[in-house]
Structure 1
Amino acid sequence: MDESEIRRQLEEVDTELARLRADVAAMRREIGERWDAPTDAAELATVLTNAEQQESVIETLEARRQHLQQQLGSA
C-alpha cells in the first residue's frame, strides 16, 4: 500500500471516528437527560446497549488508525 492510499484510509477512519463519537455523545446525553424522567426501562437499556456497541466500534477504529499511522511512519 502506498503512502497516498494509507493517508486516504486514515482520513476515512478519522471521519468515521468523528461521526461515531458525536453519535455516542448524543446517546449519552439522551440517557443523562432521562435519568429522572419516567421512561421505558427496555428503551433505556437499548439506548445504553447501542452506545456501548458504538464505543466498541470506536475502539476498533482507533486501533486501525494507530496501525495506519505506524505504516505512515515506516513508509
Structure 2
Amino acid sequence: MDDAEIREQLKELEAELARLRASAADIRREIGERWDAPTDAAEIAMVITNAEQQESLIETLEARRERLLQKLGSS
C-alpha cells in the first residue's frame, strides 16, 4: 500500500468517525431528553446498546487510523 492509498483510507476513516461520533452524540442526547426519550425500559436499553455499539465501532476505527498513521510515518 503506497502513501496515496493510506491517505485516502485515512480520509475515509475520518469521515466515518465524524459521522459515527455525531450519531452516537445524538443517541446519547436522545437518552437525556426525557420529553423525546424512549419511555419503556426495553426501548431505553436498546437505545443505550445502540450508542455503546457505535462507540465501540469508533474505538475500532480510531485504532485502525493509528495503524495507518504509523504506516504512513514509517514509509
Q: Which TM-score band applies after superposition, normalised by the shorter structure?
A: over 0.9
Instruction: Give the whole-Å Cα distance in 1 for the aligned partners of 2:30 and 2:38.
Output: 13
TM-score normalised over the length of structure 2? 0.93
- Which secondary structure does the structure 2 equivalent of 1:34 belong to? coil
Q: What is the root-mean-square deviation in Å for CA atoms of aligned residues?
A: 1.6
Relative to the length of structure 1, the TM-score reads 0.93
- The 3 A distance-change label for structure 1 pair 38 and 10 is closer
Residues 28 and 51 in structure 2, CA contact (< 8 A), matched pair in contact too: yes
Q: CA deviation at 1:39?
A: 1.0
Q: Tell me, in whole angstroms, the C-alpha distance in 1 between the residues paired with 2:55 and 2:39.
A: 23
Of all paired residues, the percent bearing the same amino acid is: 73
* Structure 2: runs of 5+ lacking an equivalent: none
Structure 1: any 5+ residue segments left out of the alignment? none
Q: After TM superposition, where is structure 1 displaced by more than 3 Å over at least 4 residues in a row? A: none
Structural mapping, 1:5-20, within 5 Å: 5-20=5-20
> Could you give the per-residue CA deviations for residues 28-71 of structure 1, whole angstroms, max 9, x where no partner exists?
00001128x78111111100000000000000000000000001
Larger relative contact order (Cα-Cα within 8 Å, sequence gap ≥ 6): 1
Cα distance in 2 for residues equivalent to 1:52 and 1:41: 16
Alignment of 1:41-56 (within 5 A): 41-56=41-56
